Chains A and B, each alone.
Chain A
Amino acid sequence: MADRTIPTEATRQDALYEEAAADYGAALERLARAYEADADKRRDLLQEIHVAMWRSFAKFDGRCSPRTWVYRVAHNTATTHVMQQARAAKMMGIEELEELPDTSAEGDSDRREALERLLALIQKLRPLDRQLMVSYLEGMDAAAIGEITGLSATNVATKIHRVKALLARRFQEGGGHGD
């Protein structure tokens, strides 16, 4: 007779974590980049996110999708990290960033430089706006963003409109920076 082991809480937690790490590992790396510019600190942050995610799966009750759960835990860990770095005062909202002049050079049109400019832009944002921008860039729709951030549908719609306008201005002005 085959030996069928009943999964314990610990193995369920491990399995959920491994599945999430396989599905969202790359997205979590990108998320860590959005929150931390320094490479060593970013590595630590990514590890913190993985530990928090593994821990959190002990209490995952399936009331939301694993994706929402993973992003919530990851954003919360990263937001905590940003707050502890005492850089919050220098951060801006999407609206304030829209008013800042674009200081990019005309020639920085390749993908790598565009990405660097995008990261620099994201890293200036306040945590909530950063969550929203990252979620938008990850291709999430308004409903998913609302579920992760806890913002109302109207609020998400307004903010996404601003995110799009900001990106349009920054990556189309001066001849296709976003290429």
Chain B
Amino acid sequence: MVTEQPPNDVREAWQRQETEGARMSLEEIRGKAGKLQSKVGSRNRLEYIAVVLVVLGYGFYIYHYHSFTIRLGSILVIAGTLYVAYQLHKRASARALPQDCDFECCVDFHRRELERQRDALGSVWSWYLGPLVPGLVVFFLGTVFQPMPPRHGHHPWIALAISLTLCSLVFFFIGKLNQWAARALQRQIDELNAAAEPR
């Protein structure tokens, strides 16, 4: 006969199961916590280095070229990059789960984080790729109008068309990659909702 009471020894067996007695010293704990922190720190550093490189590169063009269009394009690219860095920090930076959180709050936090990341990835044209477009277009146009001594076989409009095509392809590819990633995040959100569904 099956009773509705589980045998007490199920609980007992659970509580008496052998454990390894694994302990971490405070030094180990601090070391591990520090490592996690420096992982986040090094990701941020990479982003800042990329921004500095773009600013230095286009800063050099501003200094070196006297063409108004190239200088304007460079200023716009720098402004676009700074805007992207700000948006990246605002939209994609990792947040910590509040400490005193029950199940619903924990799931809500993860859902909000995933939605935030999904929205950031799904809208890269408005805050990541888009702000760089005006600067790059003006910069490439500037290279066409740049007064240069006539050279045999130099076709500035063809060079412009190639640069713009390549740039468009790269941007299109980045946009698609981000869309795929956003869809993958949506699947994770759906799984989370299914897993956390109250019964």
Contact = CB atoms under 8 A, between A and B. Distances in A.
A14 B188 CA distance: 36
Contact of B4 (A69, A89, A164): A164
A95 interface: yes
A173 B4 CA distance: 11
B104 to A, nearest CB: 5
Nearest to B105: A150
Contacts of A56: 99-100
Say which size band chain B's interface belongs to: 35 or more
Majority secondary structure, B binding face: helix
A86 B188 CA distance: 7
B117 to A, nearest CB: 13
Interface residues of A, number: 68
B191 A30 contact: no
Contacts of B102: 72, 148-150
A142 interface: no
Interface of A: 14, 17-18, 21, 25-26, 29-30, 33, 43, 46-47, 50-51, 54-56, 59-60, 63-64, 69, 72-73, 75-76, 79-80, 82-83, 86, 88-89, 91, 93-95, 111, 114-115, 118, 126-129, 131, 136-139, 148-151, 155, 161, 163-165, 167-169, 171-173, 176, 178-179
